[in-house]
Chains A and B, each alone.
Chain A
Amino acid sequence: MNAADKKRLLREMLFARRFEERCYEAYVERKIGGFLHLYPGQEACVHGVMEAARPGHDYVITGYRDHVHAIKCGSDPKVVMAELFGKETGCSKGRGGSMHIFDVDKRFMGGYALVGGPFPLAAGMAKAIKLKGGDEIALCFLGDAANNQGVFHESLNMAAVWKLPVLYVTENNLYGIGTRIERSTAVLDQYKRACGYDIPSAQADGQDIDEVFKAAKKAVDHVRSGKGPYLLELMTYRYRGHSMSDSNAYREKEEEKEWGKRDPIIILRDRLIEAGEISEEDYRTMDKAIIDEIENEIIPFCEESPEPDVSELEKYVLAENDPYVKGGAQ
């Protein structure tokens, strides 16, 4: 990554932070409903990994904490926010909501609400890539607690047996909602769990984008070169509750404070300032421009967008006019 890349990444991560903070406000204003899971604190994870991969080309799948993953794959933040507002202009036409962001043109293959659900789907996409002979890889981003689902093991096993081009990324933020990892999980280092399937793996600091990128580069190169799956664990922390309905009361204030000192955006910002690449003033200008963009472009777009038409409630349940439903086009 050169200095220009790092400056762009700083902007992208700061944008992600402000975007999510604005979601919080919109939720409080009741513009957004349902469950809302925000990403602040973990920005370096998806940004560092996707920087080493090819956004828009590689297939990406994740859980319900999915807004920033979609945007990093190339989704227009306006249509992501419009989805949260439940509007017809949303990426999933208001049918999905926060946990079901999809942007298939950008190969962002969705956010899924069932913890662990994407593990085998990612392996399946990797199988399809292999059959079709493409140079894409599949990337699956999930949390630490998801690794306790049976399909984690089933999917790692199949991916290893069939040497599938899939990179599993565990964003280990130490909690599954309110349960700290050692209370639910026998092996704390998630990367070690891959060895049961003879899958190479590594652990990296998920707060430092340079570290994430370095580790991800190795992982992505391994997977893309046809050597089979890889598991990358990123140590990170979420700065808010699990979702909007979570008071966060189960975490020690001391722990929150410590991780607060390792804010991925501040780490990168300070590094760039120290290297003389940007000034504090540049950063403030960047921040202001981002907030303006969100307030003046994204939010008005969402407010003004139409609601889905109730007459189309039953659209998208099944394929429309599929000839084989009637016995084919004989």
Chain B
Amino acid sequence: MAELMYWEAIRRAHDEEMARDPLVIAMGEDIGVAGGTYKATSGLYDKYGEERVIDTPISEGGYTGLGIGASFIGVRPIIEIMSVNFAWLATDQIVNTAAKVRYMSGGQLEAPVVIRSPGGTAHQLGAQHSARMEKVFMGIAGLRVVTPSSPRQAYGLLKSAVRCNDPVFINEHELMYNMKDEVPDEEYFMPLEGSEVAREGADVTLFAYNISVHWSLQAAEELARHGINAEVIDLYALAPLDREGIKASVAKTHRAVIVEEAEAPVGVGSEVMAIINEECFFELDAPPLRVSAKNVPIPYNRTLEKASIPTAKDVVNAVLNMFGKG
């Protein structure tokens, strides 16, 4: 099994799908000649040409809509939005067209587009380049949202997303493109629904996704030193969320902490808590907790920026408090 970086895994999925199907195309700002801001499409322009690896103008609403229109009649566009912050300009087409067209046409039309975009808080990029938008998209009926926490997931999710007949939003992370990990050498499709057990445990479940999986795994190591055996569930599919997986883990550990990089209001944490409440409230030995970002536009100053995003330490402290060891 080869080790690939996150960006290499995404690039490999593009390459395989484009080699297989001439109607798979890639589009976005600077993805062609320049190879992509995070190199996720590097080399593809030379291999597949400008008709299929399209450098778009800076028109997020326009080119996202164009990709959606192309998908109506058989094309499978993989649209890269350079930063999730810019995806706000494309929300009309994603929400009002891609997510709704199957329904409002009574099943006649579908929009099998993939929209990939990095979100998250990176290196002092300031308020307008640090958004986390998964919470916006995961509440939209008709749209699938997945968020890979590893190169293996990044590869397998993109492979499935390209072939799935629904629109899929893939929430990547600015800080994860250079993360290296094993990816199977053979072709691999990851389910677009479900969750993964990132670490087995018995005493408490840490529900996490994307970068917060890594904070949670770190926290679990630290918690083990305190005699607490934490389970980490990777909610790589945010829409729909894996109700069964959430229920199964809570039934096992009886305690839940949700770890999210985004602000708490109306987010993954609130949704997971609601599911726990609805599915397995009487399994709980303690009220569930959220470890979330501060509810602020992300500040530029390094210290303030750090203070606005949770860390593994915050997760450890939350769990210790829950066990009365704080």
Contact = CB atoms under 8 A, between A and B. Distances in A.
Given A123-B69, A128-B72, A328-B160, A93 B106 contact: yes
B106 A131 contact: no
B59 A131 contact: no
Contacts of B107: 93, 315-316
B102 A96 contact: no
A175 to B, nearest CB: 23
Contact of B62 (A95, A113, A158, A330): A158
Contact of A102 (B22, B51, B59, B109): B109
B189 interface: yes
A124 interface: yes
Interface in A314-330: 315-319, 322, 324-328, 330
Q: Interface size bucket, A side?
A: 35 or more
Given A100-B104, A128-B75, A324-B189, A319 B110 contact: yes
Interface string A76-95: 00000000000000111111
B190 interface: yes
Contacts of B51: 130-131
B106 A96 contact: yes
A120 B65 contact: yes
A127 B166 contact: no
A124 B192 contact: no
A96 B107 CA distance: 10
Most B CB within 10 A of own CB, among A117, A150, A328: A328
Given A124-B69, A322-B166, A91 B106 contact: yes
A104 interface: yes
A317 B141 contact: yes
Contact of A325 (B56, B67, B103, B193): B193
B160 A95 contact: no
Interface string B140-170: 0110100000000000100111011110000
Contacts of B22: 131
Nearest to B142: A317
18 contacts: A91-B106, A92-B105, A94-B106, A100-B104, A110-B104, A112-B96, A117-B93, A121-B93, A123-B66, A125-B70, A132-B23, A132-B75, A158-B59, A161-B57, A316-B107, A318-B166, A325-B166, A325-B191
Interface of A: 59, 61, 90-96, 100, 102-104, 109-110, 112-114, 117, 119-132, 138, 150-151, 154-155, 157-158, 161-162, 315-319, 322, 324-328, 330
Those 4 A-B pairs whose CB atoms lie nearest each other, nearest first:
A124-B69, A154-B62, A120-B65, A93-B106
